[in-house]
Structure 1
Amino acid sequence: MMEEIINYFENINPVLAAFHATVFTWAMTALGAATVFLVRNPSKKLLDGMLGFTGGVMIAASFWSLLAPAISMSPGEGFTKVMPAAIGFGLGALFLFGLDKVLPHLHLNHDENQKEGIKTPWQKTTLLTLAITLHNIPEGLAVGVLFGGVAAGIPEATIAGSLTLAIGIGLQNLPEGLAVAFPLRRAGMSKRKSFMYGQSSALVEPIAAVVGALAVGFFTPILPYALAFAAGAMVFVVIEEVVPETQQGNNSDLATLGFIGGFICMMILDVSLGT
């Protein structure tokens, strides 16, 4: 099955391949949000454990799928070889830091008076969705950049590796969709609207993927920087948003074990399927 999927992606334009892969990651978010139609009220333990899993997947993907290939494909030795990854990683974190300060949003489990970004009269539902949208920008970018590397003929960037990253991101998008939809439902929104807001948070992923693939295709030397940029952005999201959200209640141990499980899952996927 995996071989057939790889063959399909090898025979289409890499930019289109990046788009298709991130349509899958969006669909997983939509699937998670769709559980609002089936489950009345999931426990806080389940939500925190799944959110911890999300963080583990993102951290593992940042190293195994992004930073390690970025270092491997950089020229030179020692200090020179690691500098593109270091610079890209720092720029990616700063990019998300800037978005976090500018884009109006509200983290899960926070009161409305704790909203961040520029002042706006937007409703809580919109702000919650924008918070998860912040998570998804670097995820889509990461998939697109890897497919762009495939198009450029970089040996360290492979279709298998790109698809493995998309699968891992899809897995962690499932609880993200759920984590958006259910707080909105508990706030009084209809099931249909809760689902629509939940799935819409990942619509940015195909857009970011296409941008990343095109950027690398036009200017191949930026690939190590671009991979590390996506990694830095993802790690910023995990430390700034995901981890604090899982440690606020009484389920911090469960969330931490979920984080470890997510890391192990993504590491196994990348090492076993990504080559």
Structure 2
Amino acid sequence: MIQNVIEHLGSIDPVLAALYATLFTWGVTGLGASLVFFFKKINRAVFDSLLGFTGGVMVAASFWSLLAPGIEMSDGEGFEKVIPAVVGFGLGALFIFGLDKILPHLHVNFQTHEREGIKTPWHKSVLLTLAITLHNIPEGLAVGVLFGGAAAGFEGASIGGAVALALGIGLQNFPEGFAVAVPLRRQGLSRWKSFNYGQLSAIVEPFAAVLGAWAVMEFQPILPYALSFAAGAMIFVVVEEVIPESQRASYTDLATLGFIGGFMVMMTLDVGLG
């Protein structure tokens, strides 16, 4: 079945393929958020394990799906070959750093007084949604860039690898949807409103994916930089947000094991399908 999906996505316009792939990841987020119709809380040990899993998937994807192909397709030898990856990686991290300082948001498991970004009277529900939205931007961008690179025929970029990345992101989006929806439900929001906020956190992914695929197709020389840009953005999110959130309770070992599991799953998907 997965092979059929790869063949189909490889036969259509890369921008459209990127859109389809990230509609899937958005849908998985909505599926996770839909659990709020059945549960009003989540076991913290389970949640921290899933959060660790998310971090592991993102770190593995940053290397196996983005940095390694970006370096492989760069021209030159030695230090010259790695320059695009270094530049793109740094710019990606700085991009999310800037958004983190500007965009009002509140990380999951953090108290209201720990909100980040510019001061705003926005409700906690909006701030929680924006926190997850922040790290969905590089995820969508990464999928789009990889589809664009594969369609352009760059060595190291493949449709299989792009599909593997979308599958990995979809897997870690599931707990994210639930992570936004459940706290809002516990605050008194209706199940429907909680679900809507949860699934809306991933709506940015299709937009970022389409932009990434289009940019690479139009300006092919930027691909090594674009892949590394997405990797740098994802690593920044993991270190600044995902890991600290998973380590705030007494289940740090479970969160760490979840991270290892997520890394193994994403590595397996990328190597197996890419």
Deviation at 1:236, TM superposition (A): 0.2
Compare 114-123 and 136-145 and name the one that shifted more: 114-123
Structure 1 CA distance, aligned partners of 2:50 and 2:24?
Answer: 19
Structure 2 CA distance, aligned partners of 1:131 and 1:143?
Answer: 20
Q: 1:65: which partner in 2?
A: 65
Q: 2:199: which partner in 1?
A: 199
Structure 1 CA distance, aligned partners of 2:261 and 2:121?
Answer: 39
Identity of aligned residues (%): 67
Q: 2:221: which partner in 1?
A: 221
Q: 1:231: which partner in 2?
A: 231
4+ runs of 1 displaced by more than 6 Å?
A: none
Deviation at 1:41, TM superposition (A): 2.1
Structure 1 CA distance, aligned partners of 2:187 and 2:40?
Answer: 13
In structure 1, runs of 5+ residues without a counterpart are none
Deviation at 1:114, TM superposition (A): 1.3
Q: Residue deviations 1:62-88, cap 9 Å, x none?
A: 000000000000011110001100110
Q: 1:105: which partner in 2?
A: 105
Instruction: Kindly provide the amino acid, as one letter, of the partner of residue 266 in structure 2.
Output: M
Deviation at 1:151, TM superposition (A): 2.5
Structure 2 CA distance, aligned partners of 1:239 and 1:55?
Answer: 9
Q: 1:42: which partner in 2?
A: 42
Q: Residue deviations 1:58-115, cap 9 Å, x none?
A: 0000000000000000011110001100110000000000000000101111111111
Instruction: Kindly provide the amino acid, as one letter, of the partner of residue 249 in structure 2.
Output: G
Q: 2:23: which partner in 1?
A: 23
Residue 10 of structure 2 contacts residue 151 of structure 2 at CA under 8 Å; is this kept in 1? no
Structure 1 CA distance, aligned partners of 2:41 and 2:2?
Answer: 35
Compare 247-256 and 200-209 and name the one that shifted more: 247-256
Structure 2 CA distance, aligned partners of 1:65 and 1:220?
Answer: 18
Structure 2 CA distance, aligned partners of 1:155 and 1:66?
Answer: 12
Deviation at 1:127, TM superposition (A): 0.4
Query: Map of 1:257-268 to 2, 5 A cutoff?
Result: 257-268=257-268
Structure 2 CA distance, aligned partners of 1:11 and 1:152?
Answer: 13
Q: What do you get for the CA RMSD once the two structures are aligned?
A: 0.8
Structure 2 CA distance, aligned partners of 1:43 and 1:3?
Answer: 36
Q: Residue deviations 1:183-211, cap 9 Å, x none?
A: 11111111111100000000000000000
Structure 2 CA distance, aligned partners of 1:216 and 1:174?
Answer: 28
Question: TM-score, structure 2 length as denominator?
Answer: 0.98
Q: 2:118: which partner in 1?
A: 118
Structure 2 CA distance, aligned partners of 1:254 and 1:178?
Answer: 19
Structure 1 CA distance, aligned partners of 2:155 and 2:13?
Answer: 17
Instruction: Kindly provide the amino acid, as one letter, of the partner of residue 55 in structure 1.
Output: G
Is structure 2 residue 213 aligned with structure 1 residue 210?
Answer: no
Q: 2:249: which partner in 1?
A: 249
Residue 72 of structure 2 contacts residue 155 of structure 2 at CA under 8 Å; is this kept in 1? no
Is structure 2 residue 104 aligned with structure 1 residue 90?
Answer: no
Structure 1 CA distance, aligned partners of 2:235 and 2:145?
Answer: 17
Instruction: Kindly provide the amino acid, as one letter, of the partner of residue 136 in structure 2.
Output: N
Compare 47-56 and 148-157 and name the one that shifted more: 148-157
Structure 1 CA distance, aligned partners of 2:271 and 2:89?
Answer: 22
Question: TM-score, structure 1 length as denominator?
Answer: 0.98
Instruction: Kindly provide the amino acid, as one letter, of the partner of residue 232 in structure 1.
Output: G
Q: 2:133: which partner in 1?
A: 133
Structure 2 CA distance, aligned partners of 1:236 and 1:3?
Answer: 32
Q: 2:157: which partner in 1?
A: 157
Q: 2:176: which partner in 1?
A: 176
Q: 1:78: which partner in 2?
A: 78
Q: 1:143: which partner in 2?
A: 143
SS in 2 for 1:84: helix
Deviation at 1:10, TM superposition (A): 1.6
In structure 2, runs of 5+ residues without a counterpart are none
Q: 1:9: which partner in 2?
A: 9
